[in-house]
Structure 1
């Protein structure tokens, strides 16, 4: 039976390979893209709002006299819940599907976001911290759920483009919040408006996603048979994956998986350093108040989004035309995405207040070329194991974010005088070193081939399959390809 199915896929393969037009897979990717955009609305809104929340104004907005340590506590509390939620989120997405887990979690996160102004009334920073932890818990499902969905919907011939397009929503969401926050604060709503607007938009998206989203092609009522067969042939994610036992031992004895974790940790550490510390450096050392110009703050992330849409089709083209192997392409683009920002950080560390324009250019290049790493480590989970991509993402994203929590602590320990360029130079060289080591380990240990443990099934099922057909499900997949 398994052999016949593989032959059928072969016979329809030529017709299915012609799937180039806009299809249901692209509609699903578009829904996921906006899920990333609005998910980052819920994540970044506090970073934009905390300035007017703690700045004395004469327009009647509430003002809270929170000191620097309290504000840091509020800003970091999101990650307490976020890191804890990673592995459970991956398991939930695998068991119940990414659609339900992500959809209902976003509904809950949206309601909690709308409650932020009420929670802050009276200056209770403890309540805001608790709400941010809850936001972290609910948004911890974002990457594992999206990865679980992409493993079902993104054919390997389009994997870089679809996955990168979806995840570029993070940059779009960050940029929109940074670019529009000033207008919201100056409106009649004041700073509470950013919570009301971001919460309402995310809530509307979650309802649409629960109605029109689908866990896999076979769950969609709108997809054609031709497109469904095309996707199922080129994903390698089996229909039975939800009931498959997670091969934990195989994960933690897999050198390619450790290489992937190293690359993701390097990227996350560098990205958060660029996102959180560069504005302070430019304000203190370069005497450039980036925070006063919302559009300037958003510029690097708009550039990153644009480069995502340029770089990812190039990656797919190089792989599909067999100019580069998938493994080589993943390592090449991850190197571009981490070592070019590494060089930009080193260059920025020597900038002076007379070189502001050059510093902005380096920052924009550094953040922009981060996008190439999306065609490297970020899609590598699906390369290694389509059936367990979401679970693997939950582990690697949890480790990467946990390690990156130490980045601001290191900055605080080294930078005693924010106007001392020598102290900042040490911070940037440490970050550059982490970029260097993380990507180097990915080059050495990384792979982009499906691992044997991707197709592990229960022993009784495996025995029956082999006894009936003389080959495993993995063999059928290989034949179909």
Structure 2
């Protein structure tokens, strides 16, 4: 068996993909933090904030399956370079377009489209958990600096990619292939991916998980700032839920999807009635930590039900699970406005979606191959 050593071709690709995934995640989570001072400057309404926050998901929704298809047809290297360049440019020009909501939303849609191309390509090479360390740094920078710094990282990445990416990553004794070939099944129709109840159990669970995740990602800094009096130092604590999520993702093992959906549902229900900032951070961190159990639940179920087509079923599932990202912005704004500034309906709604997803998953999921 070949050994993995530092600076092998495989390790360089993994390192580059990790860096690209970090930039991808950072560029997406800057806006939920930056929108707090930006709203103070531009006097945006809550509804305008909602559309700005959801704009990225519009683009992301349209390019998931395209990214997977183009990575296969055009090559992962070419698609990844183009996507990183495009989302980095969109990030860099954001401060220049901020005075126009229309231009800003258009820019965020382009950002989401580019990131939707990039993530399937990264996962095509190797699966890597996203880092959210940018959440610690961003509150201590000006909102313009956040976009300029992290947008510039993409250009640095492209230079490293050209220098370090091997021309043929699957040759040589010091490398290991990043994905293994699969046995091809015949007579599979697109309808099979849509009409299978076990697959819809996965899709529903993924949708429910992302509803809560997008609520936290898009609105947590605004909620802590406007409702619990959080300052720049306090907003750094928004990184804590993601750190806990990563830790739980590593140690969760084969915990049931029940923990990943029902657990966050209960803690979000408690979170919405807490008026202490420190306790709120603890509760939402536990919620995000328990959500990581989904990695050993429905997210790994793709390999059970469709071992030869797991990439396709995940692309479909992730596309459907992007719908919460589109809806959470305007829906949250409408609910908060209708409730005279109260957020309880937002978090109880997320609780209901999680519990519904858990019921659908438990009643329809299987661990045997269906495709």
1:95 matched to 2:68? The reply is: no
Alignment of 1:162-201 (within 5 A): 163=127, 166-167=128-129, 169=130, 172-173=131-132, 176-185=133-142, 191-201=143-153
Alpha-carbon distance in structure 2 between the residues aligned to 1:204 and 1:132 = 21
Q: Closer, same or farther in 2 for the Cα pair 1:118/1:356, shift >3 Å? A: closer
Q: Which residue of 2 aligns with 1:11?
A: none
Q: Does 1:40 align with 2:25?
A: yes
TM-score by length of 2: 0.84
> In the superposition, relative to structure 1, how do residues 413 and 309 fare at CA in structure 2: closer, same or farther (>3 Å)?
same
Alpha-carbon displacement from aligned partner over 1:427-450 (angstroms, at most 9, x marks no partner): 333211211221232233334555
* C-alpha separation in 2, matches of 1:411 and 1:382: 34
2:114 corresponds to 1:138: yes
Shift of 1:264: 0.7
Contact 1:45 1:194 in 2 (8 A): yes
Change (3 A) 1:127 1:410: closer
CA RMSD of aligned residues (A): 3.3
**Matches of 1:197 and 1:141, distance apart in 2:** 22
* 2:291 corresponding residue in structure 1: 370
Which structure 2 segments of 5+ residues have no match?
A: none
SS in 2 for 1:88: helix
Aligned-residue offset at 1:141: 1.6
Q: What CA deviation, in whole Å up to 9, does each residue of 1:114-157 have, x standing for no partner?
A: 2333344xx3332222221111111112332233334xxxxxxx
Equivalent pairs counted in the alignment come to 369
Q: Does 1:360 align with 2:302?
A: no
Note the 1:378-457 alignment, pairs <5 A.
378-385=299-306, 387-415=308-336, 416-417=338-339, 420=342, 424-452=343-371
How many angstroms apart in 2 are the aligned matches of 1:335 and 1:24? 39
CA distance in 2, matches of 1:74, 1:362: 27
Look up the SS of the partner of 1:437 in the other structure.
helix
Q: 1:334 to 1:183 in 2, by over 3 A?
A: same
Q: Does residue 1:124 correspond to 2:43, yes or no?
A: no
* Equivalence for 2:171: 221
Instruction: Give the C-alpha shift of residue 368 in structure 1.
Output: 1.9
* Structure with the greater alpha carbon radius of gyration: 1
Label 1:450 to 1:209 Cα distance change in 2 as closer, same or farther (>3 A). Answer: farther
Deviations 1:192-247 (A, max 9, x none): 322221112122224434554579xx84235547x45xx77xx4525x89xx9974
For the 8 Å contact 2:36–2:225, the answer to whether it is kept is: no
Q: Deviations over 1:294-326 (max 9, x none)?
A: 322222222222333333xxx2xxxxxxxxxxx
The 3 A distance-change label for structure 1 pair 47 and 409 is closer
Query: Does the 8 A contact of 1:336 with 1:372 survive in 2?
Result: yes
Give, in whole Å, the separation in 2 of the partners of 1:118 and 1:417: 34
C-alpha displacement of 1:266: 0.7
Can you list the C-alpha shifts for 1:357-405, whole angstroms capped at 9, x where unaligned? 4332211111122222123233333444455333323221111112443
Equivalences for residues 16-415 of structure 1 within 5 A: 16=1, 28-56=13-41, 64=42, 66-120=44-98, 123-150=99-126, 163=127, 166-167=128-129, 169=130, 172-173=131-132, 176-185=133-142, 191-209=143-161, 212-213=164-165, 219-222=169-172, 224=174, 227-228=176-177, 235=180, 237=182, 247-282=189-224, 287-289=228-230, 293-311=234-252, 315=253, 329=254, 332-351=255-274, 353=275, 355-385=276-306, 387-415=308-336
TM-score (norm 1): 0.67
* Structure 1 residue matching 2:123: 3-state secondary structure: helix
**For the Cα contact (< 8 Å) 2:56–2:110, is it kept in 1?**
yes
Change (3 A) 1:142 1:259: farther
Change (3 A) 1:406 1:46: closer
Gaps of 5+ in 1: 1-15, 57-63, 151-162, 186-190, 316-328, 453-481
